Amino acid sequence: MSGGWKASLAAVLRQHNGRKAGGSVAGFATQSKRAETLYAGFNELRELGFKLNNVQEFRGRHMRGLAASWEKQGLQPSTIQNRISNFRMFSEWIGKSGMIEASEKYVSNPGAVHRSSINKVDKSWSAHGIDEAAVIAEVAAKDPRCGIQLELQRTFGLRPRESWMLRPHLDDKGTFLTVSHGTKGGRDRVVKIDTPEKRAVLERAKSFAGKCSSTIDPGKKLGQWKSRYYFVVRKCGLKRRGGLNATSHGLRHQHSNDVYKCKTGVNSPVRGGGPVDPETDRAARLEIAEELGHSRESISTHYLGR
């Protein structure tokens, strides 16, 4: 194929990237992330000395070269594992199913790709000594829209993207809030509006949105707002290094752990809480998992520990 590796990769993506492994339609975010990972990976291969002219030439030795480079860079286990998973799917696309082995086969330290879903460190803002109200007020002073989006995350357990794309007027159903835009995997859910705090935050959010629109600045597209949002929150110290050692995602951990205490009467395991009746614990975890947009109770260990 003429055009080099970029053209050959583009051809493979056009044919296969629109589908997930099971054959269902892949969302735009999934397609974009896979394409980004593959383009970056093949470009890195050239920097490492592998001169592939066509991506069909991809072999196991190329995967080993990339994984070794990622491990040397000190990337997070989840990042390395996700990248290898993308290349595993790519190998299936080009008719080389089974060529890419388990992730630990490609690194010198298997722990470099070992992920545990059980959280052992409380990632809530309170665990980092962060004055929640003060930080949100500082963010709001720089950009009120970013401020209200942080409040939505804190109060309803939303992901950042969900808070950006929420349509306060349309999604407010009186006793519950529908969360259907910006969700992970396109999984819609509802969240109860059962406290005065939730009602107050939602009413404030409505002042930043038209009757049919989200809280994003109407003059910006989603990608532009994403850049704006992260610029503002990082300027206010919400970053893992060189700041508060926490991100806005910590508000989702804050929400989850606070709800667990409300439902069970004790702190979560990750906060050092004591024993809880198994049925009470499971009921709280199921409710929290559902509220966060997950279908499995086990995912709650990522926020609450076990």
Residue corresponding to tokens 């009602």: 199
If one compares 162 and 296, the residue with the highest pLDDT of the two is 162
State yes or no: pLDDT of 2 exceeds 60: no
- Mean pLDDT across 224-228: 95
* pLDDT of 74: 85
Q: Which CATH number fits domain 126-304: 3.30.830.10, 1.10.10.10, 3.20.20.80, 1.10.443.10?
A: 1.10.443.10
- Mean pLDDT across 270-288: 89
State yes or no: pLDDT of 78 exceeds 90: no
Q: Are 257 and 304 in contact (CB under 8 A)?
A: yes
> How far is it, in rounded angstroms, from Cα 140 to Cα 150?
9
Domain boundaries, the chain: 4-113, 126-304
- Contact residues for 8 (Cβ-Cβ < 8 A; gap 6+): 1, 54, 55, 56
Model-level pTM?
Answer: 0.66
- How buried is 263 (Cβ within 10 angstroms: 0-12 exposed, 13-18 middle, 19+ buried)? middle
pLDDT tens per residue across span 247-264: 999 999 999 999 999 999
Residue corresponding to tokens 């949105």: 209
